[in-house]
């Protein structure tokens, strides 16, 4: 299939180029005797994919290559029906060459394709760049907060320097990602050095890694350092620096490994859809999620009351992946439009428009 060079930028592409495009194409498939119906469906599906490629190539100029083009193209082509608003079959026939040919005239929604290419790019970016936040654990001794904040700044600089996307701990965007929680403890005892009493401060640093949303601890790193001296805060800073240097590499490796695992981990999403008119439609939506949303292992309607449908969706990936998928133009065009009312951890509330 011919590769098309694309610019995905609404600042560069004129609005007029994002209008629908009508194209005529022919899809072909091979078939065996008594299997004409299957061959026809394959030829029609191929024609729809060709329609998108032809319309897309006619509308967007060739200046910049989109990274991961082949992956993005596969994503778009596999959802071709969601970008075609009207199909007229002009001609169809079984040929003497053992092929079935379907010629169609199709209206392709170019704006929808461009919008979804941008969303697919975003998903690929999420996959490459682990998303992390750093925070101080609640309940920490107030006297240790300045040192804990220094530790948070150190970790943030190191994370950014190693290619992580770092968000503020209170940023709502970190519904998808990992959080490092900093905890510090200091205990003081006495020892004798050359006949003189000497305070010894044992500094302990614990870094807990949480999954954003449900706040489950999924990994931890710990280091301890004994520092002599009367000045407890000075000893704390010195001991904390030692502990951070000791646990940093282990923590970084844990974050990378956990991110890879969490990208496609099975998890239960608790989805509420509002303004669903009938119980039958609520059941139909469950079937749609099962059949046509990538990553959904299963979707089960558990309650329907006063237009509110509640589902448990077993999903491979982060909640934001799921939301991004159903907000894509192909899904809205083919099934139903909606707005996202709320996302909190694994709980998602959507209102059907």
pLDDT digits (tens, 9 = 90+) for 275-298: 999 999 999 999 999 988 888 999
- The overall average pLDDT reported for the chain is 83
Please answer whether residues 119 and 328 qualify as being in contact, where contact means their C-beta atoms are separated by less than 8 angstroms: yes
How would you list the strands of the sheet with 20-30, edge to edge? 20-30, 99-109, 84-94
User: Going from the N-terminus, what domains does the chain have, and what CATH number goes with each?
Assistant: 15-128 (3.30.1660.40), 131-261 (3.30.160), 266-352 (3.30.1360)
- Report pLDDT for 289: 95
Residues 232-258, mean pLDDT to the nearest whole number: 91
pLDDT value, residue 55 = 82
Sign of CA dihedral 161, 248, 169, 270: positive
- Give the model confidence (pLDDT) of 175-193 as tens digits: 668 999 999 999 988 776 6
Q: State how beta strands 196-211 and 347-352 pair.
A: unpaired
Residue 69: per-residue pLDDT: 61
The DSSP 8-state label assigned to residue 65 in this structure reads: P
């Amino acid at each position: 299939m011919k590769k098309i060079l694309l610019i995905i930028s609404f600042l560069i592409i004129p609005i007029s180029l994002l209008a629908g495009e009508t194209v005529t194409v022919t899809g072909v498939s091979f078939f065996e005797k008594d299997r004409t119906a299957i061959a026809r469906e394959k030829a029609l599906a191929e024609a729809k994919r060709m329609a998108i490629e032809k319309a897309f190539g006619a509308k967007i100029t060739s200046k910049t290559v989109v990274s991961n083009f082949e992956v993005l193209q596969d994503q778009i082509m596999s959802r071709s029906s969601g970008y075609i608003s009207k199909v007229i079959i002009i001609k169809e026939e079984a040929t003497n060459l053992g092929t079935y040919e379907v010629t169609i005239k199709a209206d392709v929604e170019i704006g929808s394709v461009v919008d979804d290419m941008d969303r697919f790019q975003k998903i690929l970016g999420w996959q490459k760049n682990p998303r992390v936040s750093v925070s101080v654990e609640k309940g920490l001794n107030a006297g240790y907060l300045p040192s804990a904040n220094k530790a948070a700044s150190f970790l943030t600089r190191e994370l950014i320097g190693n290619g992580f996307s770092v968000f503020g701990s209170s940023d709502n965007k970190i519904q998808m990602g990992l959080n490092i929680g900093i905890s510090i403890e200091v205990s003081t005892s006495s020892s004798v050095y050359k006949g003189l009493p000497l305070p010894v401060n044992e500094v302990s640093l614990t870094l807990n890694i949480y999954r954003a949303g449900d706040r489950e601890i999924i990994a931890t790193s710990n280091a301890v350092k004994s520092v002599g001296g009367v000045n407890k805060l000075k000893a704390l800073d010195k001991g904390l620096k030692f502990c951070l240097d000791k646990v940093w590499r282990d923590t970084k490796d844990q974050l990378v490994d956990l991110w890879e695992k969490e990208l496609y981990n099975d998890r239960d999403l608790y989805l509420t859809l509002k303004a669903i008119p009938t119980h039958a439609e609520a059941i139909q939506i469950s079937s749609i999620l099962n059949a046509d949303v990538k990553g959904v292992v299963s979707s089960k309607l558990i309650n329907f009351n006063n237009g509110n449908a509640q589902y448990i969706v077993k999903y491979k990936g982060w909640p934001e992946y799921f939301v991004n998928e159903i907000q894509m133009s192909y899904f809205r065009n083919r099934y139903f439009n909606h707005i996202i009312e709320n996302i909190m951890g694994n709980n998602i509330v959507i209102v059907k428009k």
